[in-house]
Structure formats: structure tokens, C-alpha cells
Amino acid sequence: MPLCFAPETEATRPLYLISQDKLADWRASLPPSDAAWVSAMGFEGKIGQTVVLPDGKGGILAAAAGFGTDVSRARARFHLAAAAGKLPAGSYRLETDLTGDALAQEALGWLMAGYRFDRYHSQTPLAAQLVAPAGIDAARVEAMAAGEALTRDLINTPASDMGPQALERAVFDLAIRHGATATAVRGDDLLAENFPMIHAVGRAAAQAPRLLDLRWGGVGPKLTLVGKGVCFDTGGLDLKPSSSMLLMKKDMGGAATVLGLAHMIMSLGLPVQLRVLIPAVENAVAGNAFRPGDILTSRLGKTVEINNTDAEGRLVLADALTLASEEPTDLIVSMATLTGAARVAVGPDLAPFFTDDDGLAAALFAAAPGMADPVWRMPFHTPYEPMIEPGIADLDNAPSGGFAGAITAALFLRRFVQGATYAHFDIYGWAPKPAPARGKGGFGQGARALLAALGARWSL
């Protein structure tokens, strides 16, 4: 569904955004009858509270939404979005002293609050619409909302309808929409084209594994986004318990997130040379599944001992990262729902990232708050390198011991990047409970922060 701002009309009503410390002043500015009405309705300016002011003719003159306190705002994101679903139908014009990133953030939250995943069951749409506030880049906010909606749709779709073939279709559809080019290498052609680990991970599934490659833009810095596209992960022969499989439709969350970011970049016409690489597979169980103890030879020529078939994401990413490094590239970014260790470290809300580039890390930290897209830097801790060296092969895909699982996975991936600045995001891609602008289910992490950071880094 399109997430766009509404046009302003004669029927558009003012919507006052009122913090608790400004409530008394706002109430004093109202006619006495309206001030009494606000008090009678129990409006205190708390986040998520709303009140409508009657026009005396049975209609609505204006509305107000609570903006809370400094403390309550620090505990949540997208404060206006908490009220969006509680307002009567109609279009609203925001009245606030917010400016800049803070204003754009609240407008974005409103649009994202309108997201509904209605592929399988009808959903009640958001009745209230927002006019684009003056002073924001409305097209940019709409592009970010649309990119986020794409990411959510892809993650929320179950593997029955979002296998490697459907993920390929999503890539090609996005390419057609933006005038990009897309190609795919499928099945046994992966062996002929030297993507052996992508083939090994996905060969046991009903749908053939594939490597998807989208290109767009002919000028500017070269940016390659690599997204983990494991459309469902059984764990392979190291089978997950059933409880751990319940969310494995989201194991292509990295692919979904880079596609959402690619949509933002292309929609905004940013002057970059964009490439998106997605190894799309299902990690399934069959007689030809790869096994614990196998040693695979990667595209780069490095050998990898398989000590757990449930650590498959880094294998498919390794071949894709090798391909990404085979041509001059200014920045390679991988995004993946890679390790449970990252969730233990920072929980589901933060997107941990790894990079050796201090400038990029600083740009991400500076950009993330304004995008309401929190990130946290984790270390490529080189002294842990021996943990991923098993002796019998060049690399171990699942070091024993359980320590530093997110770091060792990132170190594994770094081995396959040659001659380019590299950043890796180990995202969760799922909201375990509803929050303003975000229902329970799939969501993007790190994409908006990266969009803003690259804009600052490359003066886009």
C-alpha cells in the first residue's frame, strides 16, 4: 500500500502536538469552553493521548496529540505515531515548533504507522492522514517509508510464498520499477559460475539456490549492498528445534533490508553506482544436504570446515562478498540476520555493525539518531581470528565454545572482502511486540542510518 502524505484541502484540520510541560500554556490559549473540554476529556499531553476539539456544529474543529516529557520521549521512538491510529478519519496539518530531523522523524513515523500487511487477511487502514509538514523533504520521507514497507512485506511473507524464486521476482520487479538491470545465476549454474558455497547450502531445497545481481546508476561512488537471502532455515542436518524455526521466514531479513534501502536510493535518484547482491537459498534437509564435517571450497579458494550446518548464512554471504570484491568498489555493506549472539548482546531494537573504517562508524553514529534508526558499533576484534581457524581447513563456520559469536561471524565474513571499505550489519529484522510506527512483525534496521551516513560521507 502506498504510504504518502495527504494533500491539504479546506477540510484539513490542525493537529497540535502538545508536550506535558506546554499543556497549561496551550490550554490557556484556547477559548474557555475548549479548555474546559480538554480538561474534562482527561488530556494530559502523554504520548499516545489524543483529544478532539468540537466545532459547535457536531463536527471537529481541531485535534491534539500528546508529546510526553523528555523522559518519556527518550524511552520510545515515533511519538506522534502513537496517536495516529486514535484520531478520527480526515486529514490533519501538524502544528508544532519541531523542525529539522525531529519534525521529519515524526512525519516518517506517521507514514509507517499506516503500514498494513494485508496479503492474507484484510486489515483496517489508518483513518487519519497527515499533510506533509512545512520544512521537511517530503519526497525523502515518503521514499524511506516506501522502502521500509517493501522490507516489511518481504519479511512478513511466509516461505510458502517467499522462497528463492519469489525473492528473485522481487528483485526483478524492483529493477523494472527503477530502470535498473537484474540477473540471476540458478541451480547447477552456480557451480559453473563458481559460487560453490551458495550451491552447497541451497541444493537440498525444492527451489534451486540462486545468486541475484541488481545494478543501477552510472555516476558517483560505487556502493555494493549484500543481503543474506535465506528464505527459510531449518538448520539443515543440524536441525533446529521446532520453536526455533517459527520465525525463520525472517532469515532473509538482510536481503529484504538491502532491497528497501536500494528502493530509497533509486527513488531519490542519488548519484551512486549501486549494486545489490543477494544469495537466495533455503537451508533444507534432503539426501544431498551438506553435512557437518564437510569441507567446502569457496569462490575465493578458501576452504571452510562445516562444524554446524545451521551457520549457513555466512557461507552464502562469503561467495557473494567475494564477487563484490572482484571489481573496484568504494564501499561494501552486508546485512544479515546472522547470529543469535548479536541479539543477546544488544537485543532486538539495536542494529549492531562492524567496520574498520572509523570515519564510516562516526558517520553512522551521527546519522542514526536523526533517522530514529539506532545502531551500535561492534569490534572486528582481530585477536579472535584464531577462533575461526580449525587447522584442518582455512576457516571454521561455527567455532566451538559459544564465545563472541557475532564477532567471529563478522571476522569470517571479513576474510572474503578484498580491497574495499567494508561494513557488516548483524540485524534482527523483527519486532517481537508492537511499538509506535511498528507493529509486531518484520521491520528494517540500519537502512535509514546508512542512507543518511552515506549522504554525509559522499556529499550526496
Give CA–CA dist 375/61, Å, rounded: 41
Active site residue 22: no
| CA-to-CA separations, 134 to 98, 413, 452, in angstroms, rounded | 11, 44, 20
User: Which tens digit of pLDDT belongs to each residue from 31-90?
Assistant: 999 999 999 999 999 999 999 999 989 999 999 999 999 999 999 999 999 999 999 999
Catalytic residue among 314, 415, 438, 448: 314
User: Which tens digit of pLDDT belongs to each residue from 152-197?
Assistant: 999 999 999 999 999 999 999 999 999 999 999 999 999 999 999 9
Q: Is the pLDDT of residue 2 over 80?
A: no
CATH class of 142-458: alpha beta
DSSP state, residue 435:
B
Quick check: 355 and 423 in contact, CB under 8 A? yes
- How many helices (H) and strands (E) the chain has is answered by 16, 19
Buried b vs exposed e over 288-319: b needs ≥16 C-beta within 10 Å? ebbeeebebebbbebebbbbbbbbbbbbbbbb
381, with CB counted inside 10 A (0-12, 13-18, 19+), is middle
Give CA–CA dist 361/258, Å, rounded: 18
Quick check: 399 and 408 in contact, CB under 8 A? yes
User: Which tens digit of pLDDT belongs to each residue from 105-124?
Assistant: 999 999 999 999 999 999 99
The reported pLDDT for the residue numbered 444 is 97
Active site residue 240: yes
Q: Is the pLDDT of residue 399 over 70?
A: yes
Quick check: 437 and 109 in contact, CB under 8 A? yes
Quick check: 46 and 29 in contact, CB under 8 A? no
**Percent of the chain, pLDDT > 70?**
100
User: Is residue 393 very low, low, confident or very high in pLDDT (cuts 50, 70, 90)?
Assistant: very high
Catalytic residue among 240, 302, 343, 377: 240
User: Which tens digit of pLDDT belongs to each residue from 316-361?
Assistant: 999 999 999 999 999 999 999 999 999 999 999 999 999 999 999 9
181-186/210-216 β-pairing: antiparallel
Task: Give domain limits for the chain.
Answer: 13-127, 142-458
CATH code of the region 13-127:
3.40.220.10
**Percent of the chain, pLDDT > 90?**
98
Could you tell me the end-to-end alpha-carbon distance of the chain, in angstroms, rounded to an integer?
A: 28
